[in-house]
Amino acid sequence: MEVLLHQLDAFADAPFTGNPAAVMPLLSWLPDDLLQRLAEENNLAETAFYTSALPAEAGVPPDNSPAFHLRWFTPTTEVDLCGHATMATAAQILDDMHPGADRVHFYTRSGWLRVDRDRDDLVLDLPSVSSVEIDAHEELPQLLAKALGVRPLRAFDGTDVVLVVTAEHEVRESRPNFAAFPELKRAAILTAAGTEVDFVSRVFAPGQGIPEDPVTGSAHAQLTPLWSRELGRTSLTARQLSRRGGSLRCALTGDRVRLTGRCRRYLDGVVRLPD
């Protein structure tokens, strides 16, 4: 049995930047344990699997654009939301399968998601993720601060735990001790106001099999409304300061976050599975 494998870098400014995602189109769903083993073998932050068959709970697609059922796996677990792998999947579909289309919808664990093509850019539409401010001196923020080697000004809890520090250089220079990380629901985000962009960040999810994620769309679904409140604007620029790095344009529109970036294809191949 052969399965196609595409690897694309999402939110990439240049070759070898952005966040690599594996994209694997399927004729029908394989067993979950095999999907997980494939994601482990690919050894990227996320592997995206999709089929054209929608589950009954998806209902009617939002419009007449191409629609697919999409799932995401880290090397260790299936996740509820992944932005960069959704953008990478859309890029592969729009280039290879529907070159005349400028929009694709995905039914996912987080409901319907959409990606629009705007010339060379892709615009990813995600649900906005709310944050509640917590005391930065509480046990969890302090354990994270110690593991990251920072002194947070503020802390927030949502899907991810967010630590806000004074300056961009503190985000860039953090040297995390992953052995000291506390147990988290998903990830920890370290963020600050930027010098050349509105805000910068780094994202760490060792409990999900991702010590540091290069560029994280889902984290920006939480950071965009947070920084929008702080800065008093709904359109923002962002930079994730991982070693690979990546840039995003972020817009808050009601209860949705729109993230704009570009994808670069790295490889196309075939995976041969045992019968």
The residues that are catalytic are 46
Exposed / middle / buried, residue 122 (Cβ in 10 Å: 0-12, 13-18, 19+):
buried
**What totals of helices (H) and strands (E) does the chain contain, helices first?**
5, 18
Contact between residue 104 and residue 66 where contact means Cβ atoms under 8 Å apart: yes
Residue whose C-alpha is closest to residue 112's, from 159, 44, 48, 66: 66
Question: Which segments within the chain are labelled E, that is strand?
Answer: 2-10, 19-25, 46-51, 67-73, 78-79, 103-108, 111-118, 121-127, 132-134, 154-157, 161-164, 188-193, 199-205, 210-213, 235-240, 246-253, 256-261, 263-272
Looking up tokens 């920072």 gives 150
Rounded CA gap, 256 and 133, in Å? 20
